[in-house]
Amino acid sequence: MPASQTITGTVSKINDAGFQIEGRPGQWLAVLQHADPRPPLPEVGQQVRIGLDSKGLVRTIEPAGGAGTPTNGTTAATAPAAPPLGAVLTVRIAALHAAAAFLAPRPEAKAADVLTIAERFEEWVPQSRARDPARPSSLEGRW
């Protein structure tokens, strides 16, 4: 590997120590633990420019968007980032499971009631609201 290398790509997976980019499946890019300052991990789906050291460890991470994209490791404050699709699906499945368990001992409950209750349960999870902040909550104003 050369002394240093810069690569650009879209983040496909993240964990506590590093991330993967599309086009390099199975190759984890580890963030250098002793980098000063240590770059924050990017978000899934974010287009980034990555500076690697001679050992292939990540030294820098910058957004690789257009001219208006900040390059100091911060993200623009224009809109909240939507959670990854997997997280939204996990929340929805958990809400459906809880709603079905809640209604199971109630013989008067109908199948449509499961979806109604699941939607209410889902509204209580902050990350599910982040996917559509314009969606009004049926629970707002009740407290």
pLDDT in tens, the chain (143 residues): 456 788 898 988 888 778 888 888 778 888 877 777 778 888 888 999 998 888 888 888 888 874 334 444 444 444 445 556 667 778 888 889 999 999 999 999 998 999 999 988 888 776 544 445 555 555 444 43
Q: What is the pLDDT of residue 136?
A: 53
β-pair partners for 20: 13
Q: What is the pLDDT of residue 5?
A: 85
> Edge-to-edge strand order for the sheet containing 47-52?
29-30, 18-21, 5-14, 47-52, 58-63
Q: In one letter, which amino acid is 37?
A: P
Q: What is the pLDDT of residue 67?
A: 38
CA distances (Å), origin 44, targets 11, 22, 74? 5, 10, 15
Residue 141 Ramachandran class (φ > 0 left, ψ -120 to 50 alpha, else beta) = left
pTM for the full predicted model:
0.43
Determine the 3-state secondary structure of 101 from DSSP.
Answer: helix
Tell me which CATH code domain 5-63 carries.
2.40.50
